[in-house]
Amino acid sequence: MATRQAWAGWAAAVAAAVLLGAPGCGAKRELPKELKIDLGDGVTVKLALIPAGKFMMGEEKNQHEVAISKPFYMGVMEVTQAQYEAVMGTNPSNFKGATNPVESVSWNDAADFCRKLSEKTGKTVRLPAEAEWEYACRAGSKTKFCFGDADEGLGDYAWYRADSGTTFHPVGQKKPNAWGLFDMHGNVWEWCADWYGDYPKGAVTDPQGPASGGQRVLRGGSWFNYAGDCRAAYRNWNGPWNRTEILGFRVVVSVPGSPAAAAPVAAQPAPAPIQKAEVPAAKELDLGGGVTMKLALIPAGKFMMGSPDSEKGRRDTEGPQHEVTISKPFYMGVTEVTQAQYEAVMGTNPSGFKGATNPVDTVSWNEAAEFCKKLSEKTRQTVRLPTEAEWEYACRAGSKTTFCFGDAEERLGDYAWYSANSGNMMHPVGQKKPNAWGFFDMHGNVWEWCADWYGRYPEGAVTDPQGPASGTSRVLRGGGWSNTPNICRAAGRDDGPPGTRGNDCGFRVVVSVSAPGP
Ligand SMILES: [Ca+2]
Ligand SMILES: [Ca+2]
C-alpha cells in the first residue's frame, strides 16, 4: 500500500514539475524521470527524479512537517569508487572495489567532489540536505524503514551488521525503495549538507539545518551498524574532516531553473585543507565512571602472516605463510579488555575469575562485538575487533620468530601467563613484559576474539584481509592461561562458534584511525 501511495505522489509531483521547466513562457516541459551524468571511460552516475511534496520528518518528540518545494534528482546509488576516481583522480577507500561505495571520505572531500562535478557538468551537483535525504529514504513511507517496521525485512534492502559479514558490498545489490533508490539503509553512512543541530519546532519548508556548527549530519547506517541505526529517522554526525571507513555519500542535482537550486551549494563553505597533523601515538577512551582504556598506534606496514613449515609445533592451518599489507595505521588496546572496562560499557560482568583488572572472560564473540558497538556509540569512533591479520601483525610487532621476543620457549614466562606459570587461573592484565610495540599479554592470559570468520588462508600476497565472507566459527588468537607454549605462538590459531563462551576467552579492541581535525 505504501508503494501505491508513493507512486501516486510521484505522478502528482511530475505533473507539478511540468510548470517548473520554463515559468511564464507557456512551454510545458516534463522533467525526465532519470538523469545520467557521463564521467568518461564508461563511468556514469544515474540519478532519479524525486518529486516535490510534504512528509513528517524525524520521530517521536522531534517529528515535524517538512515541505520539499522543488523536485530534485538524487543519485540512485551511493557514489562508487569508480565514480569518485573519475572525478577526483584518487581513491581513498579501505575496501577497494570499483563498484563498492567510496569510503574513508570526509564531508570536505564529498563537498569537493560535488564542486568538481558541478564544474565538469555545468549542473548544480551537491550533497542532499538532511531533509531531502530522509524524504528520499522514506519514499512516501511513514515507517521505521522504507519498507515497513520489521527489522526482519531489513536484509532485503540493506547491508547491515546482521548480513554484511562486517564488510562493504557493491552498491545496488539489494532491493531499491519505492522511488528506486538503493542502499539508503546501510552499506555506507551518507554525508548530508547540513550542520548537525536540533530540529525546528514547527512545520518548515526546504530546511537547510543550522547556519553553523561543528559536526555534519550522517544518515542511513552502514554495514557495521545494527538495524536501529539504519532507521529512516536515525541521525548521526561527525566532524567534517573525519575520514572513517564507514563514511561515504551520494549526490543530488538541483532541477535547472528552480529558483532555490543554487542555495545549498552557496551555503557550503570552501573545504578546509586537510591537516597533515601527526596522528597521536596513543589514545585514551573515556568509558565513564572514571574508567578509561589505553590504546597505542600501530603503523601501516607489511609482514609475513602464518608460520614457516620449519617452525616447531606448527599446524598446517597456519599456512600457507603469505605476505600481508596493512595499509592503514590503527589503534589497538594496550591490554585485553578488563572486567572494569566491560562493566562500564555493558553494565554486566560475566567473568568466571572476578577482578576489576582481570581480563573479562566468558564472553562470546557476539558479546565482544556488542561491546564494540556500544563503545563506538559512546565515543563516536569506530571501535571494533581486530582482524586476524591485524592481531598477528600487532603480536609480532616486527618480529618473525615463534614468539614476539624470539624462538626460546624458556623466555615465554617473561611475557605471558600460560600453563607453566599461571597456577591454572588468569591474572590481571599488563603484569608481564609488553612486546616491542607496547602490547601486553598478546601471548597467553586469555584467548582473544578476532573479527574474522575462521577459514583457510589465501595463497598469495594480500592487503588488509578480512577473512572468509562467511563461516561457522570466529577466530581466536594468542592462547590462554591453561595452554602450553606451543598453543601461544604468534602464528597459532584456534576458533569457536560466535555464541560460545569460555573462562579463558576474552578480547581486545582496535579503533580505526581517522584524519585529525583542525
Ligand atoms: Ca547507505
Ligand atoms: Ca591474550
380 with 253, same domain: the answer is no
Strands 462-463 and 322-326: parallel
21 lies in a domain?
no
CB-based neighbours (< 5 A) of ligand 1, an ion: 183, 187, 220
235 and 364 part of one domain:
no
Assess whether 289 and 402 both reside in one domain. Answer: yes
Confidence (pLDDT) at 258 = 53
| Domain-ending residue, one of 248, 275, 302 | 275
Q: Which ligand is nearest to the CA of 476?
A: 2
CA–centroid distance, 441 to ligand 2, in Å, is: 5
Beta-carbon neighbours within 5 Å of ion ligand 2: 441, 445, 478
**Residue 444 maps to a domain:** yes
Chosen domain end from 275, 306, 337: 275
Q: Which residues pair with 44 in a beta bridge?
A: 38
Quote the DSSP letter at residue 278: P
Residue 337 and residue 482 in one domain: yes
For residues 304 and 258, state if they share a domain.
no
Q: Is residue 43 part of a domain?
A: yes
Q: Indicate whether 72 and 128 sit together in one domain.
A: yes
pLDDT of residue 278: 57
Q: What is the pLDDT of residue 410?
A: 96
Q: Do residues 268 and 367 share a domain?
A: no
At 13 the pLDDT is 39
- 0.95 cut: is pTM over it? no
Does the residue 403 lie in any domain?
Answer: yes
40 backbone φψ class: left, alpha, beta (φ>0; ψ -120 to 50): left
Answer yes or no: do 271 and 337 share one domain. Answer: no
Residues 126 and 229 in one domain: yes
Q: Which range marks the domain in which residue 78 is found?
A: 30-275
Ligand 1: centre distance to CA 334 (Å): 33
Q: Are residues 41 and 109 in the same domain?
A: yes
| Total structural domains within the chain | 2
Note the pLDDT tens digit of each residue in 203-260.
Answer: 999 999 998 888 899 999 999 889 999 999 999 988 888 888 889 999 999 997 654 4
330-333 and 510-512 as β-strands: parallel, antiparallel, unpaired? antiparallel
Mean pLDDT by 10 residues, the chain (518 residues): 34 38 47 93 95 95 95 98 97 92 94 94 95 98 97 96 88 97 97 94 94 90 92 92 88 75 38 47 90 92 95 95 93 97 97 96 96 92 95 95 96 97 96 92 98 95 94 97 97 96 96 62
CATH of the domain at 115: 3.90.1580.10
Answer yes or no: is 14 within a domain. no
Q: Are residues 227 and 105 in the same domain?
A: yes
What is the Cα–Cα distance from 39 to 51, expressed in whole angstroms?
Answer: 25
Q: How far is the CA of 436 from the centre of ligand 2 (A)?
A: 16
In a domain, 98, yes or no: yes
Ligand nearest to C-alpha 432: 2
3-state helix, strand, coil in the chain (%, to 5): 20, 20, 55
Ligand 2 centroid distance, CA of 444 (Å): 5
Q: Which of 256, 275, 294 is the last residue of a domain?
A: 275
- 7 in a domain, yes or no? no
CA of 464 to the centre of ligand 1 (A): 23
Is there a domain that residue 18 lies in?
no
Instruction: Please indicate, yes or no, whether residues 400 and 474 belong to a single structural domain of this protein.
Output: yes
- SS3 letters for 43-76? CEEEEEEECCEEEEECCHHHCEEEEECCCEEEEC
Instruction: Indicate the DSSP class of residue 430.
Output: T
